[in-house]
Amino acid sequence: MRGRQDGATLMTYAALVVVTAAAWLSMLGSPMSGDMAGMEMAMAPTPGDGIAFVVAWAIMMVAMMLPSAMPMIGLYAAMQRDAASAVRIAAIASFAVMYVVLWAVTGVPIYFASVALMAIAPTTLAYTIAGVLFVAGVFQLSPFKQVCLRHCRSPLGFLLGHWREGWRGGMAMGWAHASYCLGCCWALMVVLVVAGAMGLPWVLLLACVVAAEKILPHGDWVARTTGIALALLGVAVAIQPGLATVLRASPT
């Protein structure tokens, strides 16, 4: 029995790694130039543009967020020791899918925000970027950030406190975990969209920050250090608005 449980956990990790790798390969192989999610859309975007954006955003969120969720989902799989195989698979899949779904849904307001950014004059955009960076930095230092981060950094505590049986329980727990994760990381995602224009260097950088906050020892200090850096960068952009263009520039 123990061997079967260990095998199920390993299969869960393997599936998560494959899905994450596929998401990164999809982004790296994308023909998009200048950004990762269609920021060069027409000034009069169509419903098709919105759907394409949300799909691209969902893929990006899988690539960025699923690695840091692996310890939680892996432990959830390991704790399904009393469930039948079919029930265990359904519960694990429900947990992971609901986690991804909530992050995918955030692509809808992000899409409208990105469209609105295109209508802002360059000078106004620069100060908007400065404000976003500073606010995100302050949030990284806030008690609310630390509360959400503690839930993300303590898989066992979260699972024991939110445990529900069956695949419906997996859905509820996946949604709850994603909610804490969204509460923890929303400011970094706003920075990605507004300051980084969803460019690949920003995607890679913030994916590493998210993983470090949630997985590494003293991840709370990673969050605080990132907050100080973002706030200082916001002040720098406010003083020198030309830096905004550098931040949003795409690598050639």
Token representation of residue 202: 């920003």
Give pLDDT, residue 252. Answer: 47
Using alpha carbons, list the distances in angstroms from residue 198 to 27, 83, 87, 226.
11, 41, 38, 18
Q: Are 69 and 99 in contact (CB under 8 A)?
A: yes
List average pLDDT for each run of 10 residues in the chain, which is 252 residues long.
Answer: 63 93 88 44 70 92 94 91 82 95 95 88 93 97 95 93 91 96 96 90 94 94 96 96 87 52
Cα torsion 158, 159, 164, 166 to 10°: value is: 140
Give pLDDT, residue 47. Answer: 81
Instruction: Please write down the HEC assignment for all residues of the chain.
Output: CHHHHHHHHHHHHHHHHHHHHHHHHHHHCCCCCCCCCCCCCCCCCCHHHHHHHHHHHHHHHHHHHHHHHHHHHHHHHHCCCCCCHHHHHHHHHHHHHHHHHHHHHCHHHHHHHHHHHHCCCHHHHHHHHHHHHHHHHHHHCCHHHHHHHHHHHCHHHHHHHHCCCHHHHHHHHHHHHHHHHHHHHHHHHHHHHHCCCCCHHHHHHHHHHHHHHHHCCCHHHHHHHHHHHHHHHHHHHHHCCCHHHHHHCCCC
Give pLDDT, residue 87. Answer: 85
Give pLDDT, residue 42. Answer: 47
Give pLDDT, residue 251. Answer: 57
Sequence ranges of the domains in the chain: 2-248
Q: Which single residue is written with the structure tokens 């959400």?
A: 148
Give pLDDT, residue 233. Answer: 97
Give pLDDT, residue 43. Answer: 54
Residue 135 CA to residue 187 CA, distance in Å, equals 8
Give pLDDT, residue 44. Answer: 64
The whole model's pTM is what? 0.88
